[in-house]
Structures are given as C-alpha cells and as structure tokens.
C-alpha cells in the first residue's frame, strides 16, 4: 500500500511561502521541493519492492534534484553523454547508471566509452550499428538491447515511443540479434532488454502497459540468461485537478502479473512521476488587455520557460497567489507569454480571480519537463530555480549570459 499522498495539487503548496520566494527572487521562478521527490520515491519503492527503480534524468537534471534522487538510492537512466556525466558528478555509481543511446552522435559515444572504462555502467543500444560504432571505439562492457515492442502509450502522439520506428530493434528480430551479440562479440556482455511505451500513461491506458510488459517478459524468457528486463517509465501524473491520481498499486499489480515467469529482474525508469509535483512555476502578470472576447492576460513566463502547453497543448493547473484573490470575481482569460509566437499561450480559457498587473500566478506540476525544456529563444534568459526552503539551485540567466558562447 502507498504511504503518502499520491498527488500534490497546487492547493497543497503554501501560498504565503511561494509569494515570499517570488518577492525575493523575482519571476519567472521554478520552485522545487526535494521532500516531495523523496515521498514519490518512497511510494514507488513501496509499490514495486521487487524492481530496480531508475530515475529518467531527462525530466529534470538540476543537481539538487539528482542529489536527492541519489540519496534515495535510485538508479539513473540517462539519454545522452551529458546526462551520464551529470549522474556520475552527482555520485551515482556505475552499477546504478544506464545509458540509453538514441541515434547517438559520435561525440556522445566518444565521451560515454571513455566514462564506461572507469564506471562500468550499462549501455543500451537501439540499433545494431550503434554496437559496431562502440566496437570501433574498443568498447568492452555491459550491453542492453532496446526493443521496439510495437506497443505505444502516452499523453500525446509526440511522446508515444513504443511503436515509433526510431526507437529500438523490432521485436521479432531481437532473439537473433541477441544470439549474434553473444556469439560474435566476446568483449560485450549482454545483460538486459529494454523497452519504453511512452510518457504520461494514465489509468485508462494500462492495457498498453500490461501488453508491453507481457511481451518483454516473453522475450526475456526466450533470450534467457539476462540480469534485467526494463519496461520503461511513463507513469503519468494528473495535470487536471479533477483527474484522479494514477493508482500505483494497480500499475504495480498489472506489471507483476504480466511479468510472470520471467527470471530476470524487473526494472522501471520513471521520470515525471518522481519530480512533476515537486515543482511549481511562479509567473507575474505583466499586462491585462480588455478585448471584446476573452481578456488577454500577459505573463512573464512563456513557451521558453514552460514549453509543454505550446508543444503538446498541455493544460497545467494555475492559481492566483493574489492575497485578496478570494474577494475578487472570477474571469475567464487568455494567458499569453512574452514570446513573439501565437503558440505562446499558457491557456486560452482560464478562469482566475480578476487578474491585475503584478499578481503572481503559480503553475502546478512544473517539476518535470519544465526548466529542462526551457530555451533562450527570443533572447530570453532562462529563469532561476530555488528550493522551497529558499536555496538557489540554479541562478537566473542574465542578458550577458545570452552571448557567453559567441565570439
Ligand atoms: C527511454 C525512456 N525512459 C524513461 C522515460 C521517462 O518517461 P516519464 O518521464 O514519462 O516517466 C522516457 C521518456 O518518455 C524515455 O524515453
Ligand atoms: N517532454 C515530454 C515527455 C517526453 C518524454 C521523453 N521520452 C512532456 O513534457 O510530457
């Protein structure tokens, strides 16, 4: 059974403290609560006691986040040489790191092969020629094969990976590929299989998750002699306040049942589930423009701060932190950021206590794929990140940072 609340909604954050942080550090500002990451890690560990749980770094690579995850004893699933380096720097030992190479650039392989000599982590290949490229670099070590399971799931087609051809070796070819690795490549040790259905799995699409796990267990039995079979991450969190939280015990039960009779260890690699509700984004109202239809409310966080609404049409919970908000009438508004793109809209129809210039708004579930996908487009410096306790865990970029890399 789970031991702590399965979701932290925006209303559970301390408004007064968020206002203080906005005053002290300015906005846009990401606020991260490491305690919530620990609670999420505990809940995963309780639901999946038999599994090796690795954090998918791509959700949030801030060093304070990685330190917290490392202290929780989880592993690190890395998508690039940069993420492997970050994991090592944060103290993850090689046996807790897995590098999942997706069409890896040569520079990534150079760096990773060098790191693997000292740290002996597992490298997951999604194409046979990646193995040839590793051998060209005298790679010797642990290999895992990424499978394209032909089963996808996710909150949006853009993040549904299990049936996308660019990820993994087609399911039916995997046994032969594993045989040739074992017979023709003595320097590498095949230790696992891996697949990932996609990101943002909700209670409704558990059937896809179950089918992926079933297929992977079958493959694990067929290939045999493996240390682990990884069935990916993708556990969703409710962005809509009305949506119930993912029933983690039900996901674990479905996984266990489908993984039946596979001798290898079950491995999972959630990103979003660990960090999404550990973070909020604070943004300030910079303009209120009456229009004949929905009034436009300008805010200082745009698609360069939080890309998810523009990229996926994602809808995040948004609250006003105005101290007198309860006394104001509600108004529907279009919340737009400061970027010269029509897509730069946080929400087209959001009801808020009559927004006024200077109000601070809080955006929920911003701990995953928020800061991580921020950019400097329109020459907007990236925001600061602070912990709920007030530690500055990433400084705000300045205008001079924008040209730091240029001659
Ligand atoms: C290979 C792999 N593992 C793990 C994850 C983590 O996904 P999520 O953050 O949805 O748990 C992803 C992202 O979708 C991924 O591509
Ligand atoms: N960036 C996506 C998740 C992608 C996961 C990467 N495989 C999101 O914000 O929902």
Nearest CA owner, ligand 2 atom 1: 369
Q: How many CB atoms lie within 10 A of CB 338?
A: 19
Average pLDDT over residues 124-134: 94
Average pLDDT over residues 13-41: 98
pLDDT at 203: 75
SS3 of 230, please?
strand
- HEC profile for 182-215? HHHCCCEEEEEEECCCECCECHHHHHHHHHHHHH
What is the share, in percent, of the chain residues with pLDDT greater than 70?
99
Among the listed residues 50, 54, 2, the one whose alpha carbon sits nearest the alpha carbon of residue 232: 54
> What is the distance between the alpha carbons of residues 339 and 337, in angstroms, rounded to a whole number?
6
297, two tokens? 């409310």
* Whether pLDDT at 205 is above 70: no
342, two tokens? 């029509």
pLDDT-derived band at 341, boundaries 50, 70, 90: very high
pLDDT-derived band at 3, boundaries 50, 70, 90: low
Which ipTM was obtained for this model?
0.99
Q: For the whole model, what pTM was predicted?
A: 0.97
pLDDT-derived band at 292, boundaries 50, 70, 90: confident
Ligand 1 centroid–CA 199 distance in Å is 6
Average pLDDT over residues 259-263: 92
pLDDT at 293: 85
Q: According to DSSP H, which parts of 2-80 are helical?
A: 15-25, 34-47, 63-71
Ligand 2 centroid–CA 383 distance in Å is 20
pLDDT at 202: 82
Measure Cα distances from 159 to 1, 73, 76, 182, 252 in Å.
30, 28, 20, 33, 22
Average pLDDT over residues 30-49: 98
330, two tokens? 């509600």
Establish whether residue 92 lines the binding site of ligand 2, counting it when its CB lies within 6 angstroms of any ligand atom: no
pLDDT at 1: 37
Establish whether residue 316 lines the binding site of ligand 2, counting it when its CB lies within 6 angstroms of any ligand atom: no
Q: Ligand 2: which of 83, 199, 313 to mutate, most ligand atoms within 8 Å of CB? A: 199
144 carries an active-site annotation: no
Average pLDDT over residues 25-34: 98
* Whether pLDDT at 2 is above 60: no
Could you read off the pLDDT of 304-319 as tens digits, one per residue?
999 999 999 999 999 9
> What is the distance between the alpha carbons of residues 390 and 352, in angstroms, rounded to a whole number?
27
pLDDT-derived band at 4, boundaries 50, 70, 90: confident
Range name among 3-7, 81-85, 98-102, 106-110 with the lowest pLDDT average:
3-7
* Whether pLDDT at 46 is above 90: yes
* Whether pLDDT at 138 is above 60: yes
278, two tokens? 């550990």
Mean pLDDT, all residues of the chain: 96
246, two tokens? 């993912």
Residues in Cβ contact with 384 at an 8 Å cutoff, skipping those fewer than 6 apart = 25, 26, 29, 30, 392, 394, 395, 396
């Amino acid at each position: 059974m789970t031991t702590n609340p399965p979701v932290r909604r925006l209303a559970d954050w301390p408004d007064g403290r968020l206002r203080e942080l906005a005053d002290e550090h300015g906005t846009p500002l990401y606020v991260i609560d490491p305690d919530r990451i620990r609670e999420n890690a505990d809940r995963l560990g309780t639901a999946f006691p038999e599994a090796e749980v690795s954090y998918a770094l791509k959700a949030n690579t801030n060093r304070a986040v990685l330190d917290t995850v490392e202290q929780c004893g989880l592993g690190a699933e890395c998508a690039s040489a940069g993420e492997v380096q970050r994991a090592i720097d944060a103290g993850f030992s090689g046996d807790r790191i897995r590098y999942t190479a997706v069409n890896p650039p040569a520079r990534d392989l150079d760096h990773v092969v060098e790191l693997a000599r000292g740290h002996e982590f597992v490298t997951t290949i999604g194409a046979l020629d990646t193995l040839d490229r590793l051998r060209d670099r005298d790679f010797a070590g642990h290999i895992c094969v990424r499978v394209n399971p032909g089963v996808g799931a996710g909150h949006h087609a853009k993040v549904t990976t299990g049936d996308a051809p660019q990820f993994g070796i087609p399911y039916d070819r995997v046994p032969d590929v594993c045989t040739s690795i074992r017979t023709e490549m003595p320097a590498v040790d095949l230790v696992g299989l891996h697949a990932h259905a996609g990101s943002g799995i909700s209670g409704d699409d558990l059937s896809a998750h179950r089918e992926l796990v079933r297929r992977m267990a079958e493959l694990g039995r067929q290939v045999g002699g493996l240390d682990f079979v990884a069935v990916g991450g993708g556990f969703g969190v409710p962005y809509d306040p009305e949506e119930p939280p993912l029933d983690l015990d039900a996901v674990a039960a479905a996984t266990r049942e489908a993984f039946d009779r596979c001798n290898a260890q079950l491995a999972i690699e959630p990103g979003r589930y660990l960090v999404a509700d550990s973070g909020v984004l604070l943004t300030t109202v910079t303009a209120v423009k009456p229009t004949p239809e929905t009034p436009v409310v300008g805010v200082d966080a745009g698609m360069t701060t939080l890309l998810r609404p523009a990229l996926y049409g994602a809808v995040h919970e948004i609250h006003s932190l105005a101290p007198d908000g309860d006394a104001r009438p509600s108004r529907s508004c279009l919340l737009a950021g400061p970027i010269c793109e029509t897509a730069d809209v946080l929400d087209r129809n959001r009801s808020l206590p009559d927004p006024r210039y200077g109000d601070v708004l809080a955006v929920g579930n911003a701990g995953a794929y928020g800061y991580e996908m921020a950019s400097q487009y329109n020459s907007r410096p990236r925001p600061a990140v602070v912990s709920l306790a007030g530690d500055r865990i990433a400084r705000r970029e300045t205008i001079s940072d924008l040209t730091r890399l240029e001659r």
